[in-house]
Homo-oligomer: A and B are copies of this chain.
């Protein structure tokens, strides 16, 4: 049996880190990489992360293809690449919104080929191949989002790749449940952080933050994330993000009322309920 060939579309933070994580691993597939940013391909080749830089259409020669692009471009890429996948091959992705991508992947993929959605829970506020890191996925959760249409063999091949890259635990989640969970645990915190910094940026008279901003800077780190990427995420998970934002806004407004009224028992109950919930969250 020939060595499996894995194609990575998009050699940015996620795709580049996946290539670096697999590099030289026992049992690792042969890696082909594709990126329209030619300098990323050159950097990946120079780092020995990929064996070959290829054009998008050549990805159809791979056994497994992982699309590692921003979510809206992931949908486009799957639409273009899906019909060209050969029988027995697997198309997967690493997008942080799943329902739309999985629907599109299952629809687009050629007869006999398989689509499985995936989401490595890892990342930083930086992007591009220069930010890629072989240890990015080590000990970080990977979520596979199979549906009733998913081929179990294909699902296992995708899991194997991410396990080899260091991801653990590997969980399985329904795509729609995934999007609801991530609207709360990831998308809402990001829009909240953006709004918090935007508030400081739009103060009628600026406050001299200077050296006082250390804690604020830590708390709002995720507001330094890529604006294009996050614009795509809120559009791709539109209904769930809007629902979460509106629920959060009502909760914030309730707190504002308690503060305005100097409602001591109300404030204590509110803070205590939040603290109890936060203290009870599972450590990763």
Contacts and interface: CB of A to CB of B under 8 A. Distances in A.
A282 B211 contact: yes
Interface string A233-257: 0110010011011111101111110
B253 A249 contact: yes
Interface string A171-195: 1000001001110111011011111
A47 interface: no
B282 A262 contact: no
A203 B169 CA distance: 26
Contact of A246 (B234, B235, B256, B271): B256
A128 to B, nearest CB: 15
A200 interface: yes
A249 B197 CA distance: 12
B220 A278 contact: yes
A214 B252 contact: no
A282 to B, nearest CB: 6
A181 B194 contact: no
Contacts of A143: 212
A28 B262 CA distance: 41
A253 B217 CA distance: 22
Contacts of A231: 264, 267-268, 271
Contacts of A112: none
Given A216-B186, A216-B281, A231-B271, A198 B259 contact: no
Copies of this polypeptide in the complex = 2
A27 interface: no
Interface residues of A, number: 87
A225 interface: yes
Contacts of A262: 235, 238
A262 to B, nearest CB: 6
A199 B209 CA distance: 29
B214 A200 contact: no
Contacts of A157: none
Interface string A140-166: 110100000000000000000000000
A198 B141 contact: no
Contacts of A270: 194, 198
A242 to B, nearest CB: 6
B185 A215 contact: yes
7 A-B pairs with the lowest CB-CB distances in the bound complex, closest first: A214-B284, A227-B271, A185-B216, A201-B277, A197-B274, A195-B252, A194-B274
10 contacts: A180-B207, A181-B208, A181-B209, A192-B252, A197-B275, A198-B254, A241-B259, A242-B259, A245-B256, A252-B252
